[in-house]
Amino acid sequence: MSLAGVSCLVTGAGGFLGQRIVHLLLEEEKELAEIRILDKTISYEARRNFTKFQGQTEVKILEGDIRDVTFLHSACQGVSLVIHTASIIDTLGLVEKQLLWEVNVKGTQLLLDACVGSNVQHFIYTSSIEVTGPNYRGDPICNGDEDTAYDSTSGFLYAQSKTLAEKSVLKANGQALKDGGIFLTCALRSMYIFGEGSLFLQYHLDKSLLNKNVHLRFSRKEALVNPVYVGNVAWAHIQVAKALRNPEKAKHISGHFYYISDDTPHMSYADLNYELTKELGFGIEANLPMPLTLLYYFAILLEILSFLLRPFVKYTPSTNRHLVILLNTPFTFSYKKAWRDFGYVPRYKWKEAKQRTSQWIASVIAQRREYLKNKAT
């Protein structure tokens, strides 16, 4: 089943994952009628890249706020497929709760309402592994799946916002549309996403450059996770979009969530950074800066300090309890159900994903060095 003749809206299309979804749609679905690219702001470089792959598919760029009801209803008119990647990602508590809730939770609900009111047939939500966990106790999971029992209780706002948004998406499945059709939804819970353009990779790379090309050991080596390449997450969105158009497959897919991983070797988050850069001459610290238990209590002290300073100044700690647990809990999941239900198979093997990402990192390092050289002169 192809997406021939489909008019598709991608939210968050100017972001890390959103851009890759749009690029793959333009490259692979030559008979796609239209792609509407929605984001609050879209860079000049992103605009140029979109038009470069355009071909015969019409590309419309829509800049606006996902909290704007009128804007959303206009954006959804005449669309049959919505891929919703727009979200505020916050691991440190940098974003005010109200803004996080308005975008991630309320914005998703407003978009769902606009879709139902505009007779949009299919809706795919980019969820997160943080909807599952790790929980506040740091209970591990090894090679889990969609049926794995787990206490997902989390006090972290980002995880809560993604959980509520996903529930809204899955609850909306099966609603009757005005034209007599049925609204079909599903959610994709991706693992930690790496690849070209990752802001998280850039952040850790900058830290490593300041540490004489040695990566900080912020997660213990045995805390195995399964990161996923951005191109494979984008590919999963396209595969499930095509499957939703097949009535037989849609019966099994709609109203459900799926874990999206790939064949990237299981390793800790810190070791992923090292694996992607070791051929560029980078090393990695052998141990955590302090024993894990002590690191957890140190994070508590930083949170207390932040709370005490709140009436006078906003101080955001460099770590917190949630982040310590997230980075140091073994947490891996299989993509077998996605393979069984809608034929998801990673498009990029680990060797290619690593090569592409490492080449991009090398270009970033070159840019950083050129900038420092020019600054010095």
Domain ranges of the chain: 7-198+227-265+331-349
**pLDDT (tens digit per residue) in 39-58:** 998 887 777 777 776 667 88
Average confidence (pLDDT) over 121-132? 97
CA distances from 183 to 156, 249, 250, 344 (A): 31, 15, 11, 22
Strand duo 81-84 + 7-11: pairing: parallel
User: Which residue, among 267, 270, 295, has the nearest Cα to 284 in the 3D structure?
Assistant: 270
- For residues 111 and 62, the answer to whether their CB atoms sit within 8 Å is no
Distance between CA 254 and CA 240 in Å, rounded? 10
Residue 210 burial by Cβ neighbours in a 10 Å radius (0-12, 13-18, 19+): exposed
The architecture of the domain spanning 7-198+227-265+331-349 is: 3-Layer(aba) Sandwich (3.40)
Which residues are catalytic, by number?
158
Structure tokens at 35: 């792609």
Helices marked H in the chain — which ranges? 16-28, 44-52, 69-76, 97-101, 107-117, 157-172, 199-210, 230-244, 247-253, 269-277, 292-309, 321-327, 336-342, 350-376
Residue range 370-376: mean pLDDT, rounded: 69
β pairing state of 34-39 and 184-190: unpaired
Mean pLDDT of 83-109: 93
Mind listing the pLDDT tens digit for each residue in 136-156?
999 999 999 999 999 988 778
Dist CA 50 CA 53 (whole Å): 6
Render pLDDT for 328-348 as a digit per residue (tens, 0 to 9): 999 999 999 999 999 999 999
Residue with tokens 């599952």: 132
Residue type present at position 27: E
Q: Which three-class secondary structure state does DSSP give residue 59?
A: strand
- Supply the mean pLDDT for the chain: 93
Give the contacts of 178 (CB within 8 A, at least 6 positions apart). Answer: 117, 119
